[in-house]
Structure 1
Amino acid sequence: MKFDERLACLALVLCAAQASAAPLDDLGVELVYDDNLTRAQLGRDIKGDLALSVSTSGGPRFQLTDYDSLALRGALAATKYRHYDGLDNINAGLALGYRRKFGLGPYVPQFALTGSASRLEYDNRLRDGWLYAAEAEASKRVTDRLALRAFVRSERRESDDVPARVVPFIRANVFDLSSRSAGIGADFACDPRYLVSVGFTWHRGDIVSTTQRNRPIFLASSAIAPDPVFGDNTYAYTMQARTRVFSIGVSREVGRQSSVSLGYEYRDSRADGGIDYSGNLFRATYLYGF
């Protein structure tokens, strides 16, 4: 199914949900620019692009006790890229979360566990598949303006199709990936209408880099497959890497139910064999809560 057909399906789902008074919690529109989509090291291979994403999510929440709750949340999102159509995608996910408050009031610590599964559908079939994730998070509001959080997360991605092997002794399922990450963050309300967020995430696991034929990356790879999304004679390589992500953002309320935000992320990844890359991501988001 082409992206335009998937987008029409998404619009139909949103209209049906609205007509049936489905419990949608929010609707978001986001503009994102990533200056290194290929996760490449050499200048000739680095490709950037602008993307527009529309998303919605919602679901029931169950209060088990004064301190414990469960939430079932569904999410649907569509993303369209300006130049690289093969990255256009629609994904749908379902998450089950448990939250525990260690007392009453806004300043008590909280602990949350979340498990999720998402279906990924791209215009490029190489990337179609499933994404599974499990996360544990601890958080605490320190003052009426400052909140802190920390988390650990594990992810597993499984692709639908495995292309023919480029090299007989190296697998071709480049988007069968696993990783673990840990992070910390803080939110500071510098004004009743403004919220500043900062974060740091440490990630270890599989990454996919798309380049032209590259001997150092070839030697460090555990999987290789042709990747025509970024042009002819380009290949996707799976490697183990250590990645650090620094993020900062500012959000402003623009009404009782909506907000706009600007965000920035810097990524720095290092793999075996002296392979490393960095990238910058900029985003602008509008969020409306129902």
Structure 2
Amino acid sequence: MKFGEELACLALVLCTTQASAAPFDDFGVELVYDDNLTRAQLGRDIKGDLALAVSTSGGPRFQLTDYDSLSLKGTLAATKYRHYDGLDNINAGLALGYRRKFGLGPYVPQFALTGSATRLEYDSRLRDGWLYAAEAEASKRVTERVALRAFVRSERRESDDVPARVVPFIRANVFDLSSRSAGIGADFAYDPRYLVSLGYTWHRGDIVSTTQRNLPIFLASSAIAPDPVFGDNTYAYTMPARTRVFSIGVSREVGRQASVSLGYEYRDSRADGGIAYSGNLFRATYLYGF
């Protein structure tokens, strides 16, 4: 079955499943444009594309005390790219979360811990594998219209297959990655139906860049493997880097259970050897809560 047919079948299954889902379930459709999918520095290597994603999530929530709760959430998502079929993917994950409210009422601070595991299945086998994450978040509503949040997150990605080495002394498992990040954000409800979100994230850890043969990137890389998704004679390189992400989004309620939103992200990454790249990401999302 072709990926486009799989995506259509998944959307049908999701809609059918959600008809009898628990109140915590939701269903989303998102259009995403990324102008630097390759995470490249040189103009010849920079590739952008438009993607369509459908997703659903849900699961039980257990109220342990007046202040403590536990949740188990499953997620299922599929993404189809317009030009780069190798990036098409279907992912399934499971997350266990604990939340603590330090008192009663809407203005008390909250603290949450989440651990998750996600199975990654791509049309490009190089990217197949598992993603494990742990996150701690603190949040507080400071006024009727303003809420603040901060988080720290650790991720580990493990690939299924290791291709043959391009260079004997450099590993080829380019998608075995680890990273840590921290971020802050704020939500501002300037109208009962509108919400503006701002965020800043600082990320330190492995990134993957796909380019044609490139000596500076080669010298800074910890892993190299052929990556034909973006054309012939292109290679994926793993490098440690520092990345800053700035984001802004606007959401509007549509009825009592749905919302539409527009979002923008700017990424700036710096690696050793003077290697740097930036990218812009645009989102349009429809989310329905059951």
Q: TM-score range by the shorter chain?
A: over 0.9
Matches of 1:28 and 1:92 in 2, distance apart? Answer: 15
Deviations 1:22-47 (A, max 9, x none): 56611100000000000000000000
2:151 aligned with 1:127: no
Q: 1:257 to 1:16 in 2, by over 3 A?
A: closer
Deviations 1:218-275 (A, max 9, x none): 0000000000000000000000000000000000011101110000000000000000
Q: 1:257 to 1:85 in 2, by over 3 A?
A: same
1:17 deviation in Å? 2.3
Matches of 1:189 and 1:199 in 2, distance apart? Answer: 15
Matches of 1:162 and 1:282 in 2, distance apart? Answer: 32
Report SS of the residue matched to 1:24.
Answer: coil
Contact 2:18/2:25, CA 8 A, preserved across alignment: no
Contact 1:181/1:204, CA 8 A, preserved across alignment: yes
Contact 1:39/1:278, CA 8 A, preserved across alignment: yes
Report SS of the residue matched to 1:126.
Answer: helix
1:4 deviation in Å? 3.6
Report percent identity of matched pairs.
93
Matches of 1:109 and 1:98 in 2, distance apart? Answer: 14
Deviations 1:163-217 (A, max 9, x none): 0000000000000000000000000001111000000000000000000000000
Contact 2:39/2:279, CA 8 A, preserved across alignment: yes
1:10 deviation in Å? 2.4
TM-score normalized by the length of structure 2: 0.97
Deviations 1:81-124 (A, max 9, x none): 00000000010000000000000000000000000000000000
Deviations 1:58-91 (A, max 9, x none): 0000000000000100000000000000000010
Contact 1:3/1:122, CA 8 A, preserved across alignment: no
Contact 2:146/2:186, CA 8 A, preserved across alignment: yes
Q: Runs of at least 4 residues of structure 1 off by over 6 A? A: none
Contact 1:52/1:81, CA 8 A, preserved across alignment: yes
Moved more, 228-237 or 23-32: 23-32
Matches of 2:20 and 2:257 in 1, distance apart? Answer: 21
TM-score normalized by the length of structure 1: 0.97
Contact 1:190/1:196, CA 8 A, preserved across alignment: yes
Aligned to 1:20: 20
Contact 2:152/2:181, CA 8 A, preserved across alignment: yes
Matches of 1:38 and 1:175 in 2, distance apart? Answer: 14
Q: 1:17 to 1:279 in 2, by over 3 A?
A: same
Matches of 2:251 and 2:44 in 1, distance apart? Answer: 36
Q: 1:18 to 1:281 in 2, by over 3 A?
A: closer
Aligned to 1:37: 37
- Gap regions ≥5 residues in structure 1: none
Report SS of the residue matched to 1:130.
Answer: strand
1:8 deviation in Å? 5.3
Deviations 1:108-155 (A, max 9, x none): 000000000000000000000000000000000001100000000000
1:11 deviation in Å? 4.0
Aligned to 1:147: 147
Matches of 2:6 and 2:116 in 1, distance apart? Answer: 22
Q: How many residues align?
A: 290
- Gap regions ≥5 residues in structure 2: none
Q: 1:250 to 1:21 in 2, by over 3 A?
A: closer
Matches of 2:254 and 2:120 in 1, distance apart? Answer: 32
Contact 1:6/1:90, CA 8 A, preserved across alignment: no
Q: 1:239 to 1:253 in 2, by over 3 A?
A: same
Q: 1:270 to 1:21 in 2, by over 3 A?
A: closer
Contact 2:4/2:80, CA 8 A, preserved across alignment: no
Report SS of the residue matched to 2:173.
Answer: coil
Give the superposed CA RMSD. Answer: 1.4
Contact 1:251/1:260, CA 8 A, preserved across alignment: yes
Aligned to 2:137: 137
Q: 1:6 to 1:232 in 2, by over 3 A?
A: same
Matches of 1:279 and 1:123 in 2, distance apart? Answer: 24
1:9 deviation in Å? 5.4
Matches of 1:2 and 1:258 in 2, distance apart? Answer: 31
